[in-house]
Chain A
């Protein structure tokens, strides 16, 4: 039972354009959502998060949008840079829980 799904295994975007990564979830008890970025041979690093009481959180070039009614969140990267090429994981957690439920990941490639 995949509670967090990233339906696009890969995404290719031109440098300078907007990258949009999508994530769907099924568990309405999730109250916190996070995005992690992973480079090859490195561990995932935290990128940005959003609480279920918000619908948008912005940090520099990165913005996460949450649509609770659709159980959908997205990560926008504007403008996309070559260094953004990595695998992006969406994750979710329930209130007070330490366990994160991850999606399968989306490999983002930024083309010069």
Chain B
């Protein structure tokens, strides 16, 4: 069974640019969540999608957005990049029932903003 796949794995952008990250969940999983990991901050919740609808959103500015497609694949976009956006962006998938909270994470997309 294939795991959660994130692309690209690494990317470098400059301030002011925008970036799109992609996530393919485990087959059958309908919920996709995105987290930002920075040193000392742990994992910060960005948003969660279920059946193409955003169910939850974290405390991030409007520059961070996402969407989910009918095949459950998801993308997140960050516009007008800032130096502080440099981080590991992790995608996680689950069945979406919310009972146990067990998420299956991808390897992440490491974004560096120069």
Contact = CB atoms under 8 A, between A and B. Distances in A.
* Size range of the chain B interface in the assembly: 20 to 34
Given A101-B45, A103-B42, A105-B42, A46 B33 contact: no
Interface stretch (A10-18, A36-44, A61-69): A36-44
B104 A99 contact: no
Interface of B: 4, 31, 33, 35, 40-45, 48, 50, 55-56, 58, 90, 92, 94, 96, 98, 100-108
A105 B35 CA distance: 14
Contacts of B55: 98
Contact of A34 (B41, B44, B90, B101): B101
A102 B107 contact: no
Interface residues of A, number: 26
Nearest to B55: A98
Contact of A89 (B42, B96, B101, B106): B42
A103 B43 CA distance: 7
8 contacts: A36-B105, A43-B92, A43-B107, A89-B42, A91-B101, A97-B98, A98-B31, A98-B48
Contacts of A104: 40-42
A69 B88 CA distance: 35
A97 B45 CA distance: 12
Given A43-B108, A97-B56, A98-B55, A49 B45 contact: no
Nearest to B110: A41
Contact of A98 (B4, B41, B90, B94): B94
Contact of B4 (A34, A43, A89, A99): A43
A49 B98 contact: no
A49 to B, nearest CB: 6
Nearest to A32: B101
A93 interface: yes
Given A43-B90, A44-B90, A98 B42 contact: no
Contacts of A99: 33, 45, 48, 56, 58
